[in-house]
A = this chain, B = another copy of it.
Amino acid sequence: MKIYVKIMPKEGVLDPQGKAIENSLKQLGFADVQEARQGKIVELNLDIKNEEDALALTREMSERLLANMVIEDFEISIIKDDL
């Protein structure tokens, strides 16, 4: 089963990469950009058939390794290939 974990800086946490993207886009003339924030995404391929088990395991992996819960939030989504 394929799962995405999206990890973003928490609201209020400094996000220098996002700020750099925002400034670069504005300098390139994209004046409609109000804000840019950068996060990371981890795509996992799990040897698990059951959705609930996969979600629970991914939550544990996110809290233990993938995200830094002090400054980041994460969000998990299952990828349905056959839709």
A residues engaging B (CB < 8 A)? Answer: 6, 8, 18, 21, 24-25, 28, 30, 32-48, 57, 60-61, 64-66
Tell me how many chains of this kind the complex includes.
Answer: 2
A50 smallest CB distance to B (angstroms): 11
Contact of A35 among B33, B34, B44 (CB under 8 A): B44
The answer to whether A40 touches B39 (Cβ under 8 A) is yes
A64 proximity list for chain B (CB < 8 A): 28
A46 and B33 within 8 A (CB)? yes
Residue numbers in B under 8 Å from A40 (CB-CB): 38-41
9 contacts between A and B (CB under 8 A): A21-B42, A21-B65, A25-B65, A33-B45, A34-B45, A37-B42, A38-B40, A38-B41, A41-B41
